[in-house]
Amino acid sequence: MEQNKIPQATAKRLPLYYRFLNNLYQQGKKRVSSKELSEAVKVDSATIRRDFSYFGALGKKGYGYNVEYLLGFFRSTLDQHEITEVALIGVGNLGTAFLKYSFLKNNNIRITKAFDKDPNKVGTEVEGVPIYSIDEMDKHLGHIRVAILAIPASEADAVTDILVKHGIIGILNFTPARITVPKHVRVHHIDFAVELQALVYFLKHYPLEKDE
Amino acid sequence: MEQNKIPQATAKRLPLYYRFLNNLYQQGKKRVSSKELSEAVKVDSATIRRDFSYFGALGKKGYGYNVEYLLGFFRSTLDQHEITEVALIGVGNLGTAFLKYSFLKNNNIRITKAFDKDPNKVGTEVEGVPIYSIDEMDKHLGHIRVAILAIPASEADAVTDILVKHGIIGILNFTPARITVPKHVRVHHIDFAVELQALVYFLKHYPLEKDE
């Protein structure tokens, strides 16, 4: 199912809606109001209603949304029927946290291969995922198109070049380095220091109201 | 220095600009164009110019922006003169990655205390940060107002309640749980599964153009 282009901000919330609806469905719930959804996913209900209207999902007043219908819709939209394989680059503390992160097991994205330069790790498995040498990415990446970068910043550019050369088109970059890639490669960047600074900045400049 | 309210999207980019300008300054650079900035921080130059215009920083055509002036401006805006102490809750793989993340040392945010429930970790230090028992947060949080949550999702709500009771007003939540907090508490949520799903979704629905 291909839908019209929706705003990127809306698209970013889809996985969140999907996970919550899937939980409701597992619990046997048949319908959900935008208010309940709002409280669960912490997105205001006006935004939820607007988001849903982009996919033509219109809640009924006093009834809410049909969970199964919504879930079917999101599943096709998010291509949950199709497994996406991901390579993890770097099996240090952060990389290991990823491999152990059980919520990744609930969706159709799988880290199937990991790479590290530590010879003590190469050849072993973590959570069933084999660890290969980072010097042999050319041999082992295969058809994988998405990579998580969890290596030191100083190594980010050289490793990225190799990833791109071997067909990676999407990178979730956890290094503080702003990596340079060709135009066809999408990089999403999560920088811990920036996230923490942004939180502190918001706390100082946009203090929230106290409860009465 | 208190400036007018700026859009949240702009505010989120400030730490990024700050870090890059600080690097330039260390390298002795006197000025920077919005194009150079754009390439380094991966934000398009029209957005940079609009962002900067909110703080009254107007680049000169053919000259660009004065690095030292901008840096002074960002430093006061981001309160870089003032140290913010942060508590890390959970010293597993993710928490340890945080403690070892050297880029946090370049700004004025410090993780000064960590908490874990593992008796083998309590009483030790990682990267100079003491680890206390998670059952003694009441004794040790002191004046800290910001916490990083890196614990299993199942423990998130109970721990959050204790944090809020002891004065925490900002939480960087790395658990997949959508925690419930009073209105005055700001939560920024980073969910690995959602980030990865969003990247895969964008790759499928918004493919980027190939280089010619």
Q: Is A167 annotated as a binding residue?
A: no
In angstroms, what separates the C-alpha of A66 from chain B's closest C-alpha?
22
- ipTM attached to this prediction: 0.73
Given a cut of 70, is residue A172 above it in pLDDT?
yes
DSSP B134-182: GGGHHHH-TT--EEEE-S-GGGHHHHHHHHHHTT--EEEE-SSS-----
Q: Which residue has the tokens 């993710």?
A: B94
The DSSP output letter for B81 is T
Decide if B211 is inside a domain: no
Q: What is the pLDDT of residue A103?
A: 63
Given a cut of 50, is residue B84 above it in pLDDT?
yes
B125 in the same domain as B66: no
Domain final residue, candidates B56, B77, B98: B77
Phi, psi of A84 (to 5 degrees): -105, 125
In angstroms, what separates the C-alpha of A199 from chain B's closest C-alpha?
7
Phi-psi region of B119 (alpha: psi -120 to 50; beta: other; left: phi over 0): alpha
pTM, two decimals, is 0.74
Contact B139, B115 (CB under 8 A): no
Choosing among A89, A103, A163, A190, which should be mutated to test the B contact, i.e. which has the most B CBs within 10 A? A103
A105 in the same domain as A167: yes
Domain containing B145: what range?
84-194
- Cα–Cα distance measured from residue B126 to residue B113, given in angstroms and rounded to the nearest whole number: 10
B70 in the same domain as B97: no
Q: Averaging pLDDT over each range in A194-198, B47-51, B157-161, B204-208, which range is the top one?
A: B157-161
B136 in the same domain as B45: no
- Cα–Cα distance measured from residue A190 to residue B103, given in angstroms and rounded to the nearest whole number: 13
A120 in the same domain as A89: yes
Decide if A17 is inside a domain: yes
The tens digit of pLDDT for each residue in B32-43 reads 888 888 887 878
Domain final residue, candidates B77, B102, B129: B77
Decide if A205 is inside a domain: no
- Residue A163 banded pLDDT, cuts 50, 70, 90: very high
Decide if A209 is inside a domain: no
Number of cross-chain residue pairs from A and B with Cβ atoms under 8 Å apart: 205
Q: What is the pLDDT of residue A97?
A: 92
The tens digit of pLDDT for each residue in A42-59 reads 788 888 888 888 776 666
A129 in the same domain as A45: no
Q: What is the pLDDT of residue B31?
A: 87
Decide if A187 is inside a domain: yes
Taking residues A183-204, report their average pLDDT: 84
Decide if B212 is inside a domain: no
- Cα–Cα distance measured from residue B83 to residue B69, given in angstroms and rounded to the nearest whole number: 22
A190 in the same domain as A107: yes
For residue B93, give the nearest of A78, A93, A200 by CB distance. Answer: A93
Taking residues A28-51, report their average pLDDT: 83
A67 in the same domain as A131: no
Q: Is A126 annotated as a binding residue?
A: no
A45 in the same domain as A88: no
Question: Which CATH number is B30's domain given?
Answer: 1.10.10.10
For residue B79, give the nearest of A78, A180, A204 by CB distance. Answer: A204
Q: What is the pLDDT of residue A162?
A: 96
B94 in the same domain as B68: no
The tens digit of pLDDT for each residue in A197-212 reads 888 877 877 777 765 4
Q: Any residues with CB less than 8 A from the CB of A189 and at least 6 apart, and which?
A: A173, A178, B42
A100 in the same domain as A67: no
Count of domains forming chain A: 2
Decide if B200 is inside a domain: no
Q: How close are the terminal C-alpha atoms of chain B, in Å?
A: 47
Largest CA distance in chain A: 61
Choosing among B93, B163, B169, which should be mutated to test the A contact, i.e. which has the most A CBs within 10 A? B93
- Cα–Cα distance measured from residue B206 to residue B212, given in angstroms and rounded to the nearest whole number: 18
A26 in the same domain as A49: yes
Q: Which carries the bigger pLDDT value, residue B176 or residue A129?
A: A129
Q: Which carries the bigger pLDDT value, residue B123 or residue A60?
A: B123
Q: Which residue has the tokens 């900045």?
A: A201
Q: List the single residue in B with minimal CA-CA distance to A41.
A: B178
Among A46-55, A118-127, B203-212, the least confident range: B203-212
Domain final residue, candidates B40, B61, B77: B77
Question: Which CATH number is B104's domain given?
Answer: 3.40.50.720
